[in-house]
Amino acid sequence: MVEIKTDRALDAMREAGRVVGEALATVRASAAVGVTLRELDAVAREVLRAAGADSPFLGYRPGFAGTPFPAVICTSVNDAVVHGIPTDYRLRDGDLVSVDCGARLGGWTGDAAVSFIVGTPRPADLRMIETAERALAAGIAAAVVGARIGDIAHAIGTVARGAGYGLMEGFGGHGIGRAMHEDPHVPNDGCPGRGMRLRHGMALAIEPMLQAGGRDQYRTAPDGWTLCTADGSRAAHVEHTVAITDAGPRILTIR
């Protein structure tokens, strides 16, 4: 079931989203060669704590996971696409890092992700991140009243596939509100004009996940959480929580 939010609820989601934006910006500013992923998680925890928010990631245990998620951010490095657990791994020059963060404040949830390079960038990585951001922008631009879920999916897929990237088989965005994952599923590729019609008051997390190798297959790492590209190529993941409104798409997780 899709919950239609009141304007007041969307304003409350914006406050949760602001905390997410702040946490991601702070994590990004703290990421440098030699810093561990666990240290980045501590940075995000402090932002959430200071804002009075809690984490929808910490302790999260969906059906596929054998263990509860142990952190407030996912840190997915290089060939890891999503769901990377922050470990004692120290960032190296040229690493491509995707950070995903959620926050719950006043009973409402925000969810967003950024990808960036630590130290010296490879041109191919910059191109993939820029394409992921462009795919996200296209998906958001398609998230208008009267359009359908398939229009968002098609917009994302067109940008990503058009630039030669693979997408994560079966993965995409989702409805969001009181819970982090609500209906509907928002695929990253699909047919325009198909699927649920978008209405004022819907809130969606839109999140392209690109694979440099051009394939869609992935494998699960031995930790049971981290999803990596099957071909070992690098990946990028970006995300915003967006409200569908009569005035157009409203990004709730901008800093």
Stretch that binds Mg ion, among 31-39, 135-143, 204-212, 213-221 (CB under 5 A): 204-212
Sign of the dihedral through C-alpha 141, 241, 1, 135: positive
Q: Does residue 216 bind Mg ion (CB under 5 A)?
A: no
User: Least distance (Å) from Mg ion to the CB of residue 231?
Assistant: 23
CB of 58 to Mg ion, least distance (A): 13
Using the rule CB under 5 A, is 205 a contact of Mg ion?
yes
Residue choice 22, 79, 111, 151 for contact with Mg ion (CB under 5 A): 111
> Residue for token digits 């899709």?
2
CB of 106 to Mg ion, least distance (A): 19
Tell me if 100 contacts Mg ion by CB under 5 A: yes
Say whether residue 236 binds Mg ion (CB under 5 A): no
Are the CB atoms for 39 and 30 separated by under 8 Å? yes
- Which span sits near Mg ion by CB under 5 A: 95-103, 152-160, 164-172, 208-216? 95-103
The least CB distance from residue 123 to Mg ion, in Å, is: 27
Nearer to Mg ion, 207 or 216 (CB): 207
Binding residues vs Mg ion (CB under 5 A):
100, 111, 113, 205, 239
